[in-house]
Amino acid sequence: MAEPPHPVWLGSRGEDVQRLQSLLAQSGYAAGASGVFDARTYAAVVAFQRDHGMRVDGIVGRTMWNALLSHTPAGRHNEIYEHAATALAVGQLPDFSGYTKTAVAEAFTAAFDGLNVREDWLRWFSDRVRTLSDGKVTLEPADKSEFTTRVKGAAVYLHLIQGDQRRRLIIGPYAAPLITD
């Protein structure tokens, strides 16, 4: 993928802001088309960041540009994350058969920054599982040494806790992103 445009924020003006407004509109977020990063654009940026599990700061940096410029259809990451969180909220692994392997892999790749999970995404995703389960299911960090299954490359090792049941869960940026151990 080509280098994303420069970061923009409230008060920015110009071609990058016009491009941002166009990409937000294509993704279903009303941002105007003035070329000025105004309050309307800011609200659209914050909504996009929140919906996609990003750090919500109103600044469009590399992560958000990459998400907007990716080939994944608008809103697809959020739909995939929601599907995964809904299954985990009832203590099950999600069935991604209704999605292409590429879309699932792209969604979970966006949750990682190199080999490490993005902490803002993990916090958002964990909160989403807890909310959907009415607080009955939680995700907590786990030590990799507790797992018999190991993943080469990027992965986050977690405990999926439901009542007094504790299952080991691995999430990685792959077409089959969730594995229980």
98-110 average pLDDT score:
84
d(CA 135, CA 129): 8
Question: Structural domain boundaries of the chain?
Answer: 15-69, 76-180
Q: Return the biggest CA–CA distance within the chain.
A: 55
Taking alpha carbons only, the member of 32, 28, 116, 41 closest to residue 78 is 28
d(CA 172, CA 164): 25
Confidence (pTM)? 0.60
- What is the CATH architecture assignment of 15-69? Orthogonal Bundle (1.10)
118-149 pLDDT, tens per residue?
887 888 888 889 888 999 999 999 999 999 98
With cut-offs at 50, 70 and 90, classify the pLDDT of residue 89. Answer: very high
Helix (H) or strand (E) holding 170: strand 165-171
What pLDDT does 168 receive? 93
